[in-house]
């Protein structure tokens, strides 16, 4: 798993034509902010592993949560499935400071 700080994460998604941004927070947490064009895939839902297995292995996945913990867990799982995943260190809280 690759950890990126908020500035690195922003630059990466702006420059990666294969970028897919995944928000693994609960829908209720979206009041804290969202990253444009992100897809919500709540890590806590039982269907999360099945959704991950359906993802395109040719894409790069940029994953965030509230503070970076759940997204790190999600990235580790995704990499075990053969996906290229990047974790936003500090989550949406760090992103909101940009």
Q: Which of 32, 41, 43 is nearest to 66 (CA)?
A: 32
pTM above 0.85, yes or no: yes
Over residues 74-92, the pLDDT tens digits come to 999 999 999 999 999 999 9
For the chain, domains (ranges, CATH) are 2-95 (3.40.250.10)
What is the average pLDDT across 54-71?
A: 98
Q: Is the pLDDT score of 72 beyond 90? A: yes
Over residues 28-50, the pLDDT tens digits come to 999 999 999 999 999 999 999 99
Which pLDDT score, from 0 to 100, does residue 82 have? 97
* Inter-residue contact 4 to 89 (CB < 8 Å): yes
Which pLDDT score, from 0 to 100, does residue 1 have? 82
Could you tell me what percent of the chain has a pLDDT over 90?
99
Q: How far is CA 61 from the centre of its chain?
A: 6
């Amino acid at each position: 798993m690759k950890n990126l700080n908020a500035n690195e994460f922003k630059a990466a998604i702006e420059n990666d034509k294969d970028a897919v941004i995944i928000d693994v927070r609960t829908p209720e947490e979206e009041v804290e902010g969202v990253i444009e064009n992100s897809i919500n895939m709540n890590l806590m839902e039982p269907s999360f592993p099945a959704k991950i297995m359906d993802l395109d292995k040719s894409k790069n996945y940029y994953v965030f949560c509230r503070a970076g913990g759940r997204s790190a867990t999600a990235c580790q799982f995704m990499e075990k499935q053969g996906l290229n995943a990047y974790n936003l260190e500090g989550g949406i809280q760090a992103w909101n400071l940009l």
